[in-house]
Chains A and B, each alone.
Chain A
Amino acid sequence: MMIRTIFTVSLLLAAFSAGAEQASQDDLNWLKKIVVATRQSDYTGTFIYQSGSYLETSRITHIREGENEFEKLEGLDGERSEVIRKNDQVWCYLGDSKVMVAKREGARTFPVLLPDRLDLLQENYLISHGEEDRVAGYHAISFLFQPKDRMRFAHKFWAFSDSGMLLKAAVLDENHHVLDQYVFTQLQIGGDIDRKWIRKENFAAAKPQANSENDSPQNLKPVPVESGWKVNALPDGFRKIAELSRYMRGGDHPVIQLVYSDGLAGISVFIEKVGQKPASRLGLFSKGVSHVFAKMQDGNLLTVVGEVPPRTVMQVAESVRYEGARK
């Protein structure tokens, strides 16, 4: 009898955990749907970006034509500003001048949420779908990413319940106060969307970069390195996704950059030799959800940046060590 009870209980437990996993898988599928919908659909709309008391309104138009993806972003406040993008090429309009900002050789597929990235997300966040809501007139389903510890922020996304188009996104602190968010106030998905701007000439004859300092160190691409620098007290769930040697804007010496990710938030560690030159900006800084902590260590300036709480950038900065070249 006892054995049978235990057997039944284990069966129930197994069924329960399988059910929980299934629900989570549904949520993950929804996330993939959000990513695909936001990149594959045609849409045009106005959104508000808010960070603290700062507010800005922009209009975005996104067109998918055949294999090509076009995007136009216009700032609606202040001075006229516009960015247009065709796949991996980006141009800026500043008043009357058009400038090609960057171009990447070779095709690049659109970034998607890869399976391993999703695993990483589940490791660090409890993913749940929350209440239904209405955003910009669309019926929306919300998803909450609740961090499993206090080393990262919570994220919440609202998606159109039909196509999965992302309608609203917010980063929340531990008391679920909004730190920053963007939200569509008006959105048209599909239908008659202005396509005149995607005509060829808009994307053809752009001036190359206005400054021809192509050989200066600042224009060198970041290169992967094994620097020998390590973060000893990396918060759980963060994994290294890049280790680079690069030049900062206007800098004449290489800077090591280590990048870590937990699937939603990123942390970069910058290490640069400054010798005895006093670094002028040490301490903790914040900008929206991003926090920066800078400190000196044996003639090196360490700068840690991430969309994580202050304690996280500080913990990382305090545990950066040089452990020499890998043996």
Chain B
Amino acid sequence: MKQDISALMDGELCDEEADLLLGRIRQDEAASKDWQAFHLIGDVMRQPRNLPGNLGAGFYARLAAEPTILAPQPRRQSRFQYFAMSAVASIMAMAFLAWFAMHIDKAQPDVRMQQLAQQPASSTPLAEGENMDDYLLAHHEYSPSTELRGANSYIRTVSVNH
């Protein structure tokens, strides 16, 4: 269903399919929420600074109930502990790690988030050190985007910091 909605929003469905799906969205509350959430995601992607005003109080309420996600995680570890991370795959990745390590200490909100409506809100606090940035970092060690951009590639990690 979610993939269908995504396809619909991308204009990938034919008219009959689209009509059928829109009908289902109107009747199915969960699907309707998905539809709204997907559009919200799209809006946020396109214009992160101009969020639509009619998001629905529910979204803000859920967002407010997610303190652990938007609040920066205070770093109690030594900054040097970062350098003890696992061996990396390439030169660029090392530079990437370095750049990342220097910026992580500023302890600002990390991953900006667009929570899907259907995901249950969890109030479990994040464990020390648990962080989406770790996944981004581990991914970038191997990503071709790191390689193609060559010497300058690791600047993307700067964004880890904002």
- Which residues of chain A have a CB within 8 Å of any CB of chain B? 35, 38-39, 47, 49, 51-54, 56, 58, 60, 62, 71, 73, 75, 78-79, 81, 83, 85, 87-92, 94, 99-102, 104, 108, 110-111, 113, 117, 150, 166, 169, 173, 175, 177, 180, 182, 209-211, 213-214, 216, 218-222, 241-242, 246-250, 257, 259, 261-266, 268, 270, 278-290, 292, 294, 303, 305-307, 310-311, 314-315, 318
Contact = CB atoms under 8 A, between A and B. Distances in A.
B92 to A, nearest CB: 7
Contacts, number: 262
B144 interface: yes
A101 B97 contact: yes
Contacts of A92: 83, 98, 101-102
Contacts of A87: 91
Given A210-B84, A282-B119, A58 B158 contact: yes
A69 to B, nearest CB: 8
Nearest to A177: B46
CB-CB nearest 4 A-B residue pairs: A266-B143, A210-B80, A268-B139, A250-B129
Contacts of B26: none
Given A111-B90, A257-B139, 12 more contacts: A51-B162, A90-B98, A100-B83, A166-B149, A222-B86, A257-B142, A261-B143, A263-B144, A268-B142, A284-B114, A285-B112, A305-B135
A318 B118 CA distance: 15
Given A101-B83, A211-B83, A286 B139 contact: no
B46 A259 contact: no
Given A111-B90, A280-B126, A311-B6, A219 B114 contact: no
22 contacts: A49-B155, A49-B156, A51-B162, A53-B48, A53-B49, A81-B102, A101-B101, A102-B87, A166-B149, A169-B152, A182-B155, A209-B80, A210-B80, A213-B84, A220-B86, A249-B85, A249-B86, A249-B134, A264-B145, A286-B111, A307-B145, A318-B3
Interface residues of B, number: 80
A195 B149 CA distance: 24
Nearest to A280: B124
B127 to A, nearest CB: 8
Contact of A278 (B122, B138, B154, B156): B122
Interface in B121-162: 122, 124-130, 132, 134-139, 142-152, 154-156, 158-162
B89 interface: yes
Contacts of B150: 35, 38-39, 111, 166
A283 B87 contact: no
Contacts of A284: 41, 113-116
A257 B142 CA distance: 10
Contacts of B6: 311, 314
A279 B124 CA distance: 8
Contacts of B112: 285-287
A52 B111 CA distance: 13
